[in-house]
Structure 1
Amino acid sequence: MTIRAVVAGIGHYLPERVVPNSEFEKTLDTTDEWIRSRSGIERRHFAADGENTSHLATKAAQNALKDAGLTADDIDAVIVATSTPDLTFPSAATMVQHQLGMTSGFAFDVQAVCAGFIFALTNANALIVSGQAKRILVIGAETFSRIMDWTDRGTCVLFGDGAGAVIIEAQEAAGTPEDRGILATDLNSDGTYRDLLYVDGGVSTGTTGHLRMHGKEVFRHAVEKLAKTAHTALDKAGLSGGDVDWIVPHQANLRIIKATAQKMQVPMDNVIVTVQDHGNTSAASIPLALSVGKSEGRIKPGDLIVTEAIGGGLAWGAVVLRW
C-alpha cells in the first residue's frame, strides 16, 4: 500500500474591508477600467489596523477544522506560507499554533512569496509520506497591504490580504493515479531573477521596505514557467492535461491565468478564477481559490486538480492532487 496526503478539510478568511478599484482613483493616476484591463482585478480586501497575518491564518484554520470535523488537538503540525509575518521571529505558524490552543506538535513558516503555498504543501506532503506527521494544517496567509508603495500605481492596485487553509492527512491508497490525495509535486527556483520581484527592506536596511516589481518581465517568465511546471508534475503523476478537471492557479493576473491555461490546452471553464474579488493575495491565493471552488460546489470528490504558482526568487512549482 501507498501513503497519500489527502485533503480532509479546507477554509478561508478575508478581512472585512473591501477596497474597490474606484478607491484608488482618488489618489493615483489610474481608473477602474485601467486596472481591470491589465489585471482582471475589480476589488480586494485589506486587513484592519491591528489585524495581522497570524490572525487571518488562525481564522482560516478554524474554518478548515470545522469543515473537517476536527479540533486543534487532532493536528500534528502547522505550516504557514507567508512573506508578511507579524514579526521577524517567532514564526507566524507558532502564533497560529498558540491561537488555536495547540501545545503539542510543531509549527514553522515557509517563505517562497507567491509560490509559498505550493512549497508548503510539498513539504507537508513529504512529512506525511515519510511518517513524520499524520495530519497537517497548511496555511497561506498574507497582509501585503503593509508592504505597498501607495504612490506606485503599477503595484499597489494589484495586491490584497487574506488567508486560506487546508488540512491534509495520511491515508492508505493503491498507489495509482486514481488515488485521492497529492499525486505529484514539482518545485523550482532561480535566484538569477531576484531583481524582478522583491521588497527593498529587511534586516540589511533596517526598514520594512516596499514591494518592487518589473511587471512585463514577471509576466513573461510566469506564462512559460507555470505551464512547464504543471506539465512536469502531471508527467510525474502519469497523467496529462486531458485528465485535468480543474486548474487552480495562483491568482495574480487574469491575463497570466488565461495564457497559462491556453498553453496547457485546458479551457477557461475548467479554471477556478477569484482574482477579480481578491486581487493578488500571494501565498494565500491558491488555498483561497480552492476553498471558494469547493464552497461553490465546483470542486467535487474525485476531481483531478493542478495548482501552480510563481513568485519572487524567482520560485515556482506545481502540485497535482485528486480531491
Structure 2
Amino acid sequence: MNTALKSRLSAAQNAIRERELDGTTLLLVACFVPMFVFFLAVWAIPIVYALGMSLFEAPIRNPTFVGLGNYTTLLGAPEFWGFLWNSVVYAVATTGLSLVIGLGLALVINQKIRGGDALRTLMIFPYLLPTLVVIFMWKFILDPNIGILNQALVDLGLIDKPIAFFSTLDFAMPAVIVASVWKFASFAFFILLARLQAIDPDLYERARVEGASTWQAFRDITFPHLRGAILIILLVRGIWMFNKFDIIYLSTRGGPLKATTTLPIRVYQLAFSEVNFGLATALAGIMFFLLAGVAVVYFRAFAPEKEVA
C-alpha cells in the first residue's frame, strides 16, 4: 500500500510539474512573440531596408543596382575622412569633457557640502532645456557684437577684437563642443552621483583608520565602484554624440567651410540638399558598421557588466 501510494503521489507531482512547465512555456512564448515582432518592425526591417537602398543609385526615383559602388565612392572621397575626423573629435571631446565635469561635480556634491541639494537640482535644468533654446543662449553669449563673453575678453585685454566663434574656422568646433558639454554633462553627473551614494561609507571609514590618503581611497574604493558606470557612460554617450545632429546643425549647419560637418550632417546634406539617397543611405550604413564594430570591441575589451557591487 505504501509503495502504491508513493507511486500515485509521485505521478501526481510529475503531472503538476509538467503543467507548470507548460504554463511557463506558454507565458514565455506569449511574451517573446510580441517582442520579436516589435523588434522586427522598429529595428531589423528598417535597417535591412536602408542597407538595401544603399546598394542602388537613385533608389527612390530610378533604382539602378550598383552593389557596393556607393560605398566605394564615399570611401574614395578625401572629404569623407575629414567628416569622419570631425565626428570622432566631436564625440570624443564632448563625451570626455562631460564625464570629467560630471565626475568632478558628483564627487563634490557627494561630500554633503552646503548648498549641494540646490546645486544638484540646478544640474538637471541644462539637460531639460530644448536644444534650440540652448543654441540660442550660447549664440547670444558668444555673439561678436553683443555677446557677454567677447565683451569680457576685450575688457580684460585678452583679445583685440570680438571673435565670431560659430563662424570662425578655429573656434567653430570648440564652440559647438562647449555648448554640447554644458547641456549633456548632467547626464554623467546623475549616473555617477547615484553610484557614489550606493557605496558603503564603512569602506571609507576603514580606509581612514588604516591611514589611506584621499587619493588612495579614490583609487581603491571609489573608482572600482564607478568603473562600470563610467564605461557605460562612455559607450552610450559616445555613440549618442557620434550620431548627434541637431545641436551642430542648429549652431553652424556644418560650417564654416565644412569645419563642423560631421557624418550625420553629411547624410542630411546628401539626402535633402543633393537628393542623393543612394549615397546618403550608404553613408548611414558606414556609420552603422563603424559603431557596431566599436561596440563589439568595446565590450570584449572592457566588459562593463563586471561592475563592483
Name the TM tier (shorter chain).
Answer: under 0.3
Q: Between Structure 1 and Structure 2, whose CA radius of gyration is higher?
A: 2
User: Larger strand proportion, structure 1 or 2?
Assistant: 1
User: Larger helix proportion, structure 1 or 2?
Assistant: 2
- Name the TM-score, length of structure 2 as normaliser: 0.23
- Name the TM-score, length of structure 1 as normaliser: 0.22
